[in-house]
A and B are shown apart, each in its own frame.
Chain A
């Protein structure tokens, strides 16, 4: 039986419609707001849907602040630093956990995994609120540190510290790193490791020369999944610090987007952040393609 020419391409319609409706349109709306204006009377946003009406004032303002060493530059640099440190810590925590569960979980695998994920059924904000209780001066964190004789005086962790914000980011997003790593490590062909051992590799060498290189795509995938929401986070610094010295890009976006004369500035900040993240995403795509190519050759 012959299908008409349009038949198979038509199968992509749901996907295309999904992307158009939930990706392209919102993206264009953000752009239209960034290049639009604000109603002079009621101060509601008036997106410039028509490119002929575009007004780049908001972008000019954002670039000026970014390149001229203003507040925007400070928050961009700070946000990238926080996310970088948080990513490394997330990876250092998630990899051993995922590895242990995948390789040594045995019949407890399912239970261990459920146990790891269970706390994350609770809303992110609720978990951050619990951290406030744990971190406060008479909270359990200080109790534990005092019991271990690591500190003499209780530390005020909520005193506007970068370390508390990074801790919040790590805790908040670590399961999203564990899950892709676990999914990958669980599928590593044990015969590859056996082959490595047969050829004289120690367990550590087998890990370093087989498991670790194989897991690069999973690490990258986890990194992308975790980094993107971290870049947009604004309530973690709000909750665990409150100091202007720990504010992130999301806080500035939130400040401008919530109303007033300069909503387009907030939208322009979002656009600039997205372009930067797009560059990182491109690296991810290139890197995974390279790994896939190598696997194909091998």
Chain B
């Protein structure tokens, strides 16, 4: 069984290679954007240049409701389908789609995207008609203000009660007006004990493991601007992972550039396979990738060789992905039912444990149960996200346009090498 980490914007999963293999010449690299452009990006219809509020835990956002984008009424009959779902690759257990289709006697069609930007460009072009979408937290405001998603009618979503209360009323979408949570994750340090030869958890500052020059050639970062720069910030004790202070970002960039000469650092988003295969003895990693990593271990290597470190006090990067119903949905009632179906205890649990590796925020789940159920090996206990992590954890959230430019340029300079 395979799974990929689906939420990463710049990942290069093996499957995607096939899709990209046609893009050879320099000019062709631009093709996706070109298509988006030709699809009507010029209409200006959705651009009201609204100053988006930046949701923060201490500055929650209640997303606006619009007269021309109302929620569906309660008690409607589900449509005849087909239900069209727009999701990351391998981020849903196909068996669950079949079961849903059977329950409602409809066809379910899954279409996948590989980056959030690609997905939103396609949705904004109006050329796509999907019912259900899986947005990341940092895009929810944009999607609601841009009227690409529709408000939810909670009458259809009784199973929302199954999830952690903090995520039933999250600061980025107070009252869950437009979204419900799908899965959660944290970002920490993944490693192969036998290949690394030291335990990052035992270091005074575990993040220092990346800068340890005795580990030259063994060190990998996530190929993700937000995650990698946040790591450099956290190492220096800076816990504002959404800072837009140029001095802090510059310092983080300098620290990352140091990694190139110190350990010849490499970047990838295949933490789920590179760590278990031993290619990356230590890799900045997503919790869900490390849980999935046990399925990638070579024969003869036990799960006890996998390790994951996340700050015990929960002051590390954490996040969740959401489900939403698109405004242009042809099957809004069915879409609501699908959201509720995926929030149902058993469906959410099986989808996580059997296929995705990313954990739904169910109140019934805790590290003890997952270890007992043998979904998670004892050595990966810290890869289980707890509700309390959402109090202490640090979410990488929407930046202002200037902030995005600051982060992206710092990342581009790191990626250009020495």
| Residue of A with least CB distance to B406 | A261
Interface residues in A159-192 (C-beta closer than 8 Å to B): 159-160
> Are the CB atoms of B12 and A253 closer together than 8 Å?
no
Q: In the bound complex, do residue A26 and residue B27 qualify as a contact, i.e. CB atoms below 8 Å apart?
A: yes
In-complex Cβ contact of A232 among B29, B38, B412 (8 A): B29
Which of A43, A78, A242, A256 lies in contact with B267, CB distance below 8 A? A242
Contact across chains for A257 and B416 when beta carbons are under 8 A apart: no
Cβ–Cβ contact B417 & A247, under 8 A: yes
Question: Which one, B17, B28, B408, B417, contacts A244 given CB within 8 A?
Answer: B417
Do A33 and B34 touch (CB < 8 A)?
yes
Residue from the list A74, A232, A255 in contact with B24, Cβ < 8 A: A232
Contacts A43-B117, A123-B18, A246-B417 given: A30-B24 contact, CB under 8 Å? no
The verdict on A250 contacting B26 (CB below 8 Å), with A45-B36, A260-B408 known, is: yes
How near does chain B come to A74, taking the closest CB pair, in angstroms? 5
A4-45 interface code vs B (CB 8 A; 1 in, 0 out): 000000000000000000000011011011000001111111
- A42 near B46 with CB under 8 A, answer yes
The interface bits of chain A over 273-288 (1 if a CB of B lies within 8 angstroms of the residue's CB, else 0) are 1100100000000000
- What 1/0 flags go to A46-64 for Cβ under 8 Å of B? 1101000000000000000
A246 to B120, CA, bound (A): 31
Chain A residues within an 8 Å CB radius of B404: 260-261
Given contacts A123-B17, A267-B33, contact A74 B417 (CB under 8 A): yes
Q: Does B41 contact A (CB under 8 A)?
A: yes
Is the beta-carbon distance between B24 and A45 smaller than 8 angstroms? no
Report the tally of A-B residue pairs with Cβ distances under 8 A: 205
Query: In the complex, how many residues of chain A place their beta carbon closer than 8 angstroms to a beta carbon of chain B?
Result: 70
The reply to whether B21 and A123 contact each other, CB–CB distance below 8 Å, is: yes
Is the beta-carbon distance between B34 and A26 smaller than 8 angstroms? yes
Q: Which residue of B lies closest to A234 (CB)?
A: B29
Chain A 223-261 interface mask (CB, 8 Å, partner B; 1/0): 000001101111100110111111101111111111111
**A71 nearest CB across to chain B (Å):** 3
Is B17 in contact with A263, judged by CB distance below 8 angstroms? no
Q: Does B237 contact A (CB under 8 A)?
A: no
Task: Give Cα A251–Cα B411 distance, bound, in whole angstroms.
Answer: 12
| Interchain nearest-CB distance for A136 vs B (Å) | 7
Say if the beta carbon of A80 comes within 8 Å of chain B. no
- With an 8 A cutoff between CB atoms, is B104 at the interface? no
Q: Which of B21, B42, B415, B418 contacts A47 (CB 8 A)?
A: B42
Residues of A within 8 A of B26 (CB): 228, 231-232, 249-250, 253, 270, 273-274, 277
Whether A233 and B42, one on each chain, are in contact in the complex, defined by CB atoms closer than 8 angstroms, is: no
> CB-defined interface of B385-416 with A at 8 Å, one 1/0 digit per residue?
00000000000000001001100110111111
Is A129 positioned at the interface, with any CB of B under 8 Å from its CB? yes
Q: Which of A241, A252, A263 contacts B416 (CB 8 A)?
A: A252
Q: What residues on A are CB-neighbors of B41 within 8 Å?
A: 39, 44-47
Report chain A residues within 8 Å CB of B384: none
From 1 to 55 in chain B, residues with beta carbon under 8 angstroms from any chain A beta carbon are 9-10, 12, 14, 17-18, 20-21, 24-30, 32-34, 36-38, 41-42, 44, 46-50, 52
A99 at the binding interface (Cβ < 8 Å): no
Q: Which of B25, B265, B418 has the most CB of A within 10 A?
A: B25
Contact A43 B142 (CB under 8 A): yes
Q: Which residues from B are CB-within-8-Å of A267?
A: 30, 33
Task: Digitize B129-154: 1 where CB-to-A-CB distance is under 8 Å, 0 elsewhere.
Answer: 00000000000001001101000000
Q: For the complex, is A266 an interface residue (Cβ under 8 Å from B)?
A: yes
Cβ–Cβ contact A251 & B415, under 8 A: yes
Answer whether residue B217 sits at the interface, using C-beta atoms and an 8 A cutoff. Answer: yes
Decide if A72 is an interface residue (CB 8 Å cutoff): yes
Report yes or no: B12 in contact with A235, Cβ–Cβ below 8 A.
yes
B83 within 8 A of A: no
Please give the distance in Å from A24's CB to the nearest CB on chain B.
12
Contact B118 A259 (CB under 8 A): yes
Q: Residue B248 at the A interface, CB < 8 A?
A: no
With beta carbons under 8 angstroms apart, the residue of B38, B118, B412, B414 that contacts A256 is: B412
Asked if A41 contacts B146 (CB within 8 A), the reply is yes
Contact A40 B401 (CB under 8 A): yes
Please report the C-alpha to C-alpha distance between residue A72 and residue B279 in the assembled complex, in whole angstroms.
29
> Contact partner of A44 among B28, B124, B217, B267, CB < 8 A?
B124
A243 contacts which of B33, B52, B146, B260 (Cβ < 8 Å)?
A: B260
B29 touches A257 (CB 8 A): yes
Say whether B201 faces chain A, with CB atoms less than 8 Å apart.
no
28 contacts between A and B (CB under 8 A): A29-B34, A39-B46, A40-B47, A40-B49, A41-B46, A46-B37, A46-B47, A47-B41, A74-B417, A75-B416, A123-B21, A125-B17, A125-B20, A125-B21, A228-B26, A232-B24, A232-B25, A233-B24, A242-B267, A243-B417, A244-B414, A244-B417, A247-B417, A249-B26, A254-B29, A255-B412, A256-B408, A270-B26
Binding site for A on B (CB under 8 A): 9-10, 12, 14, 17-18, 20-21, 24-30, 32-34, 36-38, 41-42, 44, 46-50, 52, 115-118, 120-121, 124-125, 142, 145-146, 148, 217, 220, 260, 264-268, 279, 401, 404-405, 408-409, 411-418
Closest A-B pairs by Cβ, 3 of them: A259-B117, A71-B416, A232-B26
Known A44-B121, A238-B12; further 6 A-B contacts with Cβ < 8 A: A39-B124, A233-B24, A244-B418, A257-B33, A261-B405, A263-B33
